[in-house]
Amino acid sequence: MFERGFEALSAGATHLHRKSIIVASEKEALVTIKNALDLLERNVVTPAVDEVRKHCSYLAEKAGLSLSDLLEADTLEVHPQIFADTLHNISVELNSVELHSIDEQKDIVERTIEASGAELEGWCTPEKAHTMAEHIRREKPGICVEIGVYGGRSLFPCAAALKENGHGKIYGIESWSAETAVENATSAVNDAWWASVDFPRIKKGVYTFAARHDLTSQVCIIEASSTKVSHLFDTIDFLHIDGSHSIINAATDVIQYATKVCSGGIIVMDDIEWPSTAPAYQILLSFCDLLQVLKNDQGIPSVAFLRKR
């Protein structure tokens, strides 16, 4: 009896994942169901998620377990017919999913990272863009804030991840103003470079990219200095700090914005190796746990990912 259920689930999972999946035990069946749910939830296939969860909840009830315990179990004490019927019903749902929609959604982040690298100016590496997007995929934040948009190379991969999640918005704070960029000194060379940037051209590129790649629903640009708009946010779920690197501005961004990140929220700080951003980074470490650090081309730690305590 189990064999018929295993065969049905194998067929459904193979259809969903587009690769051969063989289920031959209760443990493999439960792992397969969990993986299928993860894929469906990640790609926001809501009707299928609801139906699969309904069948799983029924099975959990018959086994005297919670749904979470069911998905972590290796074996079940339940009538074989109930188990086989549930596997068959789940297989029906998996076979009904339109895979092309999953593939299209799954590729949104990758396509956006490639396009932003080709079309936009900035210094966000593919590694950083992928890492930020993965945190957004996993944490599913509602309110995201990026301080320092510049050309949008980090903003839009985050927006694409939000689109994949099916909810959330990223607020990009950027003045596109030479006066704001150099209001507090960093270094003579850096300040001279920022004073010469063609900000209107950079700004036009950001708005054009958002429209061309259908990310306007996920992005809200706030054209202002970050020091003047922190009051717009009561709480923040995901924060990327990459604004002015002066000692004063970097520390102010941490104090004004990072303190508003909810407990458990993610904070990303760029260019932590700069002497002028070091004080701000130390402030972050005083109330956040370090999760991950990305290194620059010279092998020096450069981008920090932290979780607010």
Please write the tens of the pLDDT for every residue from 41-94.
766 566 778 888 899 899 889 889 888 888 888 888 888 888 888 889 988 988
**Could you read off the pLDDT of 274-286 as tens digits, one per residue?**
999 999 999 999 9
Query: Could you tell me which residue, 104 or 286, shows the higher pLDDT?
Result: 286
The pLDDT mean for the chain works out to: 90
Decide if pLDDT at 130 tops 60: yes
pTM beyond 0.85: the answer is no
**Could you read off the pLDDT of 178-227 as tens digits, one per residue?**
899 888 988 899 989 999 999 999 999 999 999 999 999 999 999 999 99
SS3 content of the chain, % helix, strand, coil (to 5): 55, 15, 30
Supply the pLDDT for residue 101: 53
Supply the pLDDT for residue 268: 98
Decide if pLDDT at 125 tops 70: yes
SS3 call for 293: strand
pLDDT, average across residues 302-306: 97
Supply the pLDDT for residue 121: 95
Decide if pLDDT at 104 tops 60: no
Supply the pLDDT for residue 302: 97
Supply the pLDDT for residue 290: 96
CA triple 195-212-208, angle to 5 deg: 25
pLDDT bin (cut points 50, 70, 90) of residue 14 is confident
Decide if pLDDT at 8 tops 90: no
pLDDT bin (cut points 50, 70, 90) of residue 174 is very high
* Tokens at 115, concatenated: 């396009």
Q: Kindly report which listed range (22-36, 126-140, 238-252, 292-306) carries the lowest average pLDDT score.
A: 22-36
Residue 75 burial by Cβ neighbours in a 10 Å radius (0-12, 13-18, 19+): exposed
Determine what percent of the chain is predicted with pLDDT higher than 90.
Answer: 61
Q: Are 179 and 171 in contact (CB under 8 A)?
A: no
**Could you read off the pLDDT of 231-242 as tens digits, one per residue?**
999 999 999 999
Cα gap 25→19, rounded to integer Å: 19
In one-letter notation, the amino acid at residue 145 is V
CA triple 141-261-221, angle to 5 deg: 65
